[in-house]
Amino acid sequence: MKYQPQTKTPVDAKVRRSVPPVVCYPITTLPRPAMDIYAQARENLILQEEITIPPRDAKIFTVPAGHFFRITCPDGPQVGDLNLWCADNLDERFFSGKTRALHGTHVSTGDQLWSNLPHMRPMATLTHDTLDWYGWDEFGGSVHDVIGTRCDPYTNAVLGSEDYHYCCHSNLTRALAADRNISLVQAEPFVHDVLNVFMCTGFTQDTHQYFMKASPVRKGDYLEFFAEIDLLGALSTCPGGDCSSSHSSEAASCFALNVEIYKCESDHLTNWQSPPKSSYPGTHGLK
């Protein structure tokens, strides 16, 4: 945050401040997903599996490359925290920060979820978003952010709150440990910054602090993804519920979320290929 300055304002402050910004990563050269292929493929989706995540919990799911999956809101307004890994290599995982740098603070249809370095490839493409009508509200808020990290008991401890064991970080850790048959200590480092599905967030206009407000998600809404690679996913139903007031406690009303996995007819995907890992050789200037 920016507190009361201790440094005298220089005489050319106005000139320095008036320099126009440039976008860090213009995406004019970024290969764009073939949305027409996905649009055709999603016309005939065949439901393969449906997983229900109870309130204040997380579950693991797998999605083969070339399949679709939807995170749906079957009951009441509820936010979900999503982790994604390459199914056969947990070291390759969703890179929230670079996804934000490329696609902005909140994602929607046409954006892609990128994996971490040195892999750096699209893991999934967003193919439908029933909350895309929301756009930006008067507070600068929007849905599905890649700003927040996930609620966790360590931040609670720093802030002096009582221990709470069903934060998204803990839910994701428990779910991954159980699925992989590894200890919590082994699983925890694989849990990473999330896509905040259905969460409505932004930055306050005065202090630029991260804010949340009641999610506009309603029963029947969904966010749909196309799996570009074989995926292992984990979704936590945030203890904040719709995140209108608090999280990291038992205070909020919480609901279940569903994950639906769909197959499409393979002839729709004849012109699609699973993306390779980054072409950068990793030499970093050394021969």
The reply on whether position 238 binds Zn ion by CB under 5 A is yes
Q: Which stretch binds Zn ion (CB under 5 A): 15-23, 40-48, 145-153, 177-185?
A: 145-153
Please state the closest distance from residue 150 (CB atom) to Zn ion, in A: 6
Please state the closest distance from residue 164 (CB atom) to Zn ion, in A: 10
Please state the closest distance from residue 57 (CB atom) to Zn ion, in A: 11
The reply on whether position 84 binds Zn ion by CB under 5 A is no
Of 151 and 231, CB closest to Zn ion: 151
**Closest-CA residue to 169 (of 200, 190, 191):** 191
The reply on whether position 199 binds Zn ion by CB under 5 A is no
The reply on whether position 195 binds Zn ion by CB under 5 A is no
Please state the closest distance from residue 188 (CB atom) to Zn ion, in A: 16
DSSP H or E stretch at residue 171: helix 168-180
The reply on whether position 168 binds Zn ion by CB under 5 A is yes
Cis peptide before 10 (omega within 30 of 0): no
Candidate list 151, 187, 194, 212; residue touching Zn ion; CB under 5 A: 151
The reply on whether position 231 binds Zn ion by CB under 5 A is no
| 30 CB neighbour count, 10 Å cutoff | 12
Contact status, residue 1 vs residue 207, Cβ threshold 8 Å: yes
Could you list the beta-strand ranges (E) of the chain: 45-53, 58-63, 68-72, 80-86, 89-93, 112-114, 122-129, 142-145, 195-203, 210-213, 222-227, 231-237, 257-264
Which residue ranges make up the site for Zn ion (CB under 5 A)?
151, 168, 238
